[in-house]
């Protein structure tokens, strides 16, 4: 477990915050899609750490900085939202299996709903830096309204196309982020394409239904309540099809949080 300190914890939208934590330089490089278990040091915080996916990671000479985007959804994140700079944090991580990147799949579509923008932004930056080179990324963001479209500044200057959809049409097109997809998948070669998605389960379920007839592969990052983050408590179980098509339980924290979309048994929702 690592101990770090908050450098900022700013509100971006009514229930959305952006936090940065300074950590020792020994903190390992995370892969996009990975997460950490985080809680304030000392006894005042929640009992259990909360899982937050990594939005941004950078290193300086003698330290590392982790950034998170998170929404206040309950008591744990409410307590996180009240923390101020210099507050000490305990962090376990980086944890889980992140997005798998195949170099030959050069047509990459990134889809984020709500706070799903956090790991998707990290992935976009990683792809631009490591793999994609001149290949354009197609990035689609969705949220309830323009106030909840957060984190755009980190991706808007990337070469490629940024497309936005809001439920109320207050920014970008009016509708769901999944409605933007056909523009990018029409006529594409499924063997050269990969979709990466993160967002609410209802969005991902709709995406699964939309993609099923197309044969286009997709990796999704999902969430579930967690206690340990390392596969021990079995609190974050998700039902998936194994290689033989049998329904089995997997842990979101250890076997995920990124899964192939077709492996998840969407009827469990």
Partner 1 sequence: MTNRKGNDTQGKLAVEIGKLKLKNPVMTASGTFGYGEEYAPYVDLNRLGAIIVKGLSLKPRHGNPSPRIMETSAGMLNAIGLQNVGVKSFIRDKLPYLRQFDTAIIANVYGETIEEYLRVSEILTAADGVHALEINVSCPNVKKGGVAFGTDPDMIAEVTAGVKGVTDLPVIVKLSPNVTDITVMAKAAEAAGADAVSLINTITGMSVDIEKRIPHLKNVTGGLSGPAIKPIALRMVWQVATQVHIPVIGVGGIMSAPDALEFFIVGARAVQVGTANFVDPRATIRIIEGIEAYMNRHQTVTMDDLLGSLKI
Q: Does 139 bind partner 1 (CB under 8 A)?
A: no
Taking the C-alpha atoms of 228, 230, 233 and 234 in order, what is their torsion angle to the nearest 10 degrees?
130
Residues 6+ apart with CB under 8 A from 186: none
Output the smallest distance, CB 51 to partner 1, in A.
12
Output the smallest distance, CB 116 to partner 1, in A.
19
Pick the binder of partner 1 from 144, 173, 237, 241 (CB under 8 A): 237
Q: Are 182 and 140 in contact (CB under 8 A)?
A: no
User: Nearest Cα to 199, choosing from 103, 82, 262, 121?
Assistant: 121
Q: Does 34 bind partner 1 (CB under 8 A)?
A: no
Q: Does 3 bind partner 1 (CB under 8 A)?
A: no
Q: Does 66 bind partner 1 (CB under 8 A)?
A: no
Q: Which is nearer to partner 1, 76 or 114 (CB)?
A: 76
**Site stretch for partner 1 (CB under 8 A), options 112-120, 139-147, 182-190, 241-249:** 241-249
Pick the binder of partner 1 from 135, 152, 248, 262 (CB under 8 A): 248
Q: Which is nearer to partner 1, 47 or 86 (CB)?
A: 47
**Site stretch for partner 1 (CB under 8 A), options 96-104, 153-161, 210-218, 235-243:** 235-243
Q: Are 4 and 91 in contact (CB under 8 A)?
A: yes
Q: Are 122 and 56 in contact (CB under 8 A)?
A: yes
Tell me the residue length of the chain: 269
Q: What are 130's two structure tokens?
A: 């490591």
Q: Does 201 bind partner 1 (CB under 8 A)?
A: no
CA distances from 189 to 186, 212, 223 (A): 9, 15, 30
CA distance 199 to 49: 21
CA distance 215 to 229: 32
Q: Does 232 bind partner 1 (CB under 8 A)?
A: yes
- For 253, counting Cβ atoms within 10 Å of its Cβ (0-12 exposed, 13-18 middle, 19+ buried), the class is buried
Pick the binder of partner 1 from 5, 13, 63, 90 (CB under 8 A): 90
User: Nearest Cα to 258, choosing from 28, 95, 97?
Assistant: 97
Pick the binder of partner 1 from 190, 200, 217, 235 (CB under 8 A): 235
Pick the binder of partner 1 from 76, 96, 172, 257 (CB under 8 A): 76
Q: Does 41 bind partner 1 (CB under 8 A)?
A: no
Q: Which is nearer to partner 1, 63 or 90 (CB)?
A: 90
Q: Which is nearer to partner 1, 25 or 234 (CB)?
A: 234
CA distance 146 to 13: 10
Which residues of the shown chain bind partner 1 in the complex (CB under 8 A)? 1, 46-49, 75-76, 90, 92, 224-228, 230-239, 247-249, 254, 268
């Amino acid at each position: 477990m690592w101990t770090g300190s908050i450098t900022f914890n700013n509100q971006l939208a009514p229930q959305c915050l952006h936090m940065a934590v300074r950590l020792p330089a020994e903190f390992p490089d995370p892969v996009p899609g990975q997460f950490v278990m985080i809680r304030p040091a000392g006894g005042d915080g929640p009992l259990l750490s909360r899982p937050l996916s990594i939005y941004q990671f950078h290193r300086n000479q003698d330290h590392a900085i982790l950034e998170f985007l998170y929404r206040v959804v309950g008591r744990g994140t409410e307590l996180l939202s009240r923390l101020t700079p210099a507050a000490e944090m305990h962090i376990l991580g980086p944890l889980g299996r992140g997005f798998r990147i195949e170099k030959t799949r050069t047509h990459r579509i990134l889809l984020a709903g709500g706070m799903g923008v956090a790991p998707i932004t990290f992935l976009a930056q990683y792809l631009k830096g490591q793999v994609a080179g001149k290949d354009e990324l197609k990035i689609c963001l969705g949220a309830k309204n323009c106030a909840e479209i957060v984190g755009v500044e980190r991706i808007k200057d990337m070469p490629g196309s940024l497309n936005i959809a809001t439920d109320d049409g207050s920014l970008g097109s009016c509708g769901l982020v999944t409605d933007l997809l056909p523009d990018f998948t029409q006529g594409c070669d499924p063997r050269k394409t990969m979709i990466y998605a993160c967002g609410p389960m209802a969005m991902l379920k709709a995406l699964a239904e939309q993609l099923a007839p197309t044969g286009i592969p997709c990796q999704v990052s999902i969430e579930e309540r967690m206690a340990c983050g390392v596969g021990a408590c079995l609190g974050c179980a998700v039902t998936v099809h194994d290689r033989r098509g049998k329904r089995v339980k997997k842990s979101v924290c250890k076997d995920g949080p990124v899964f192939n979309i077709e492996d998840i048994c969407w009827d469990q929702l």
